[in-house]
Amino acid sequence: MSRELEIVRALEQLQVPHLQTTIEPLSGGMSCEMFLVTLDNGRRLTARFPSPYVRSILDDPADYEARTLAAIHVAGVPVPEVIGFGKANEGRFLLLEYVEGICTAKFANPETAVDEMAGMLAAIHSVPLDANLSHLLPTNREFRPRDELNETIREPEIVAALQAMGEPQWDHEVLRHGDFWPGNLLWDRDEIVGVIDWENALRGPAIADLAISRLDVAWVLGFDAMQLFTQAYIARRPLDLTWLPYWDLRAALRPMSNLEEWAGPYGTLNRPDISEIHLREGLLRFVENALARIPH
């Protein structure tokens, strides 16, 4: 069954009028397949089909994300409102209200953008972990290396350093987005009006999310901006940064197996200049910086 037919059937089941509906693919990341659904009255929805990878780690990723979005929406974080589920051949998918905004990695005022991102991440980490978020998976304390390590990006050194540092310690857990980067943010001028792609949400230490965002900010806006982002976050939510080198290295491992794929979305974010070479050079610098900060 085609995606278009799956979406139309979902609209019928949810009793959403769909005469003269148009369905168009949306560009996105690697975690889902997305479509813009425009109804004849002008209302717009987003259909999100989880990727095979996401389905391999979650039994029902559409339900996981829907429950997360519902809880976060109540808490006041700008996230899409859940309309309902549709049924695809491989499992359920989500229908969401479309959030108006621009997804970009090119900023006229980088300092303002960095401060806004830091504020939004701090707001997410301030959402209460109550019963509505009891379904969230925990962050793994145990680090497990891959079988084949990428020597060209110093993965063996990273693995050795992480193993030497041992299991990270944390007491306080927060709601983690899990992939907070410009590709998952919607902007209206200098303000973030939407945070999307919550299938990676977890509960765990805020510093783990901070590290992931630090690498993406370094790639997009440079290492000075990365430090400004970190300072702006800490000003809002003070953190003990003792384990930051550890989490920086954990963040650096995420693209080790498919760095070339990570460069793909930047063209749709107004940054065709961010190539695989750019990402590799930035990642190596990020790794070098983290390794140098490990306490001895």
pLDDT for 28 beyond 80: no
Phi, psi of 147 (to 5 degrees): -70, -40
Q: Phi then psi for 269, rounded to 5 degrees?
A: -105, 25
Burial 232-255 (b: 16+ CB within 10 A, else e): bbeeebebeeebbbbbbbbbbbeb
In a 13 Å sphere around the CA of 124, the CA atoms on its Cβ side amount to 32
Question: Averaged over 263-284, what is the pLDDT?
Answer: 96
Work out the average pLDDT over 248-266: 95
Indicate if the pLDDT at residue 31 is higher than 90.
no
Neighbour tally for 109: CB within 10 Å: 11
Domain-wise residue ranges, the chain = 3-97, 110-292
Residue percentage of the chain with pLDDT more than 70: 99
Share of the chain above pLDDT 90, in %: 91
16-25, 31-40, 175-184: least confident range: 16-25
Distance (Å, whole) CA 288 – CA 295? 14
Residues linked to residue 26 through DSSP beta bridges, in sequence order: 34
Per the CB < 8 A criterion, the answer to whether 37 and 48 are in contact is no
* Residue 155 CB neighbours (<10 A): 20
Find the helix packing angle between 110-125 and 223-236, rounded to 10°.
40
The residue to which tokens 């943010």 are assigned = 185
**The two three-digit tokens of residue 199, written as one number:** 């299938």
Q: Give mean pLDDT, residues 166-176.
A: 94
- 283 touches 180 (CB < 8 A): no
Q: In the predicted model, what is the mean pLDDT of residues 59-69?
A: 96
> Containing H/E element for 48?
strand 44-50
Asked whether the predicted pLDDT for residue 19 surpasses 80, the reply is no
The structure tokens 């370094």 sit at 218
Residue 296 has pLDDT above 80, yes or no: no
- For residue 50, pLDDT beyond 90: yes
Q: Which CATH architecture has domain 3-97?
A: 2-Layer Sandwich (3.30)
Instruction: Please check the confidence at residue 29 and state whether its pLDDT lies above 70.
Output: no
- What's the length of the chain? 296
Count of CB atoms within 10 A of residue 52's CB?
A: 7
Residue 53 has pLDDT above 70, yes or no: yes
Q: Nearest Cα to 213, choosing from 35, 257, 14, 192?
A: 192
Q: At the topology level of CATH, where does 110-292 sit?
A: Aminoglycoside 3'-phosphotransferase; Chain: A, domain 2 (3.90.1200)
Query: How does residue 270 score in pLDDT terms, banded at 50, 70 and 90?
Result: very high
Per-residue pLDDT at 81 exceeds 70:
yes
Stretch 88-106: mean pLDDT: 95
Query: Residue 85 — φ and ψ, nearest 5°?
Result: -110, 155
DSSP letter at 102 equals B
- Give whole-number Cα distances, 209 to 94, 103, 158, 228, 275, in Å: 25, 20, 18, 16, 24
* Distance separating alpha carbons of residues 22 and 34, to the nearest angstrom: 14
pLDDT score at 27: 78
Average pLDDT, the chain: 95
Global pTM value? 0.95
Least confident of 1-5, 109-113, 183-187, 254-258: 1-5
**In the block, which residue shows the tokens 């019963």?**
131
pLDDT interval class at 5 (50, 70, 90): very high
Per the CB < 8 A criterion, the answer to whether 105 and 183 are in contact is yes
Tens digits of per-residue pLDDT, 106-132? 999 999 999 999 999 999 999 999 999
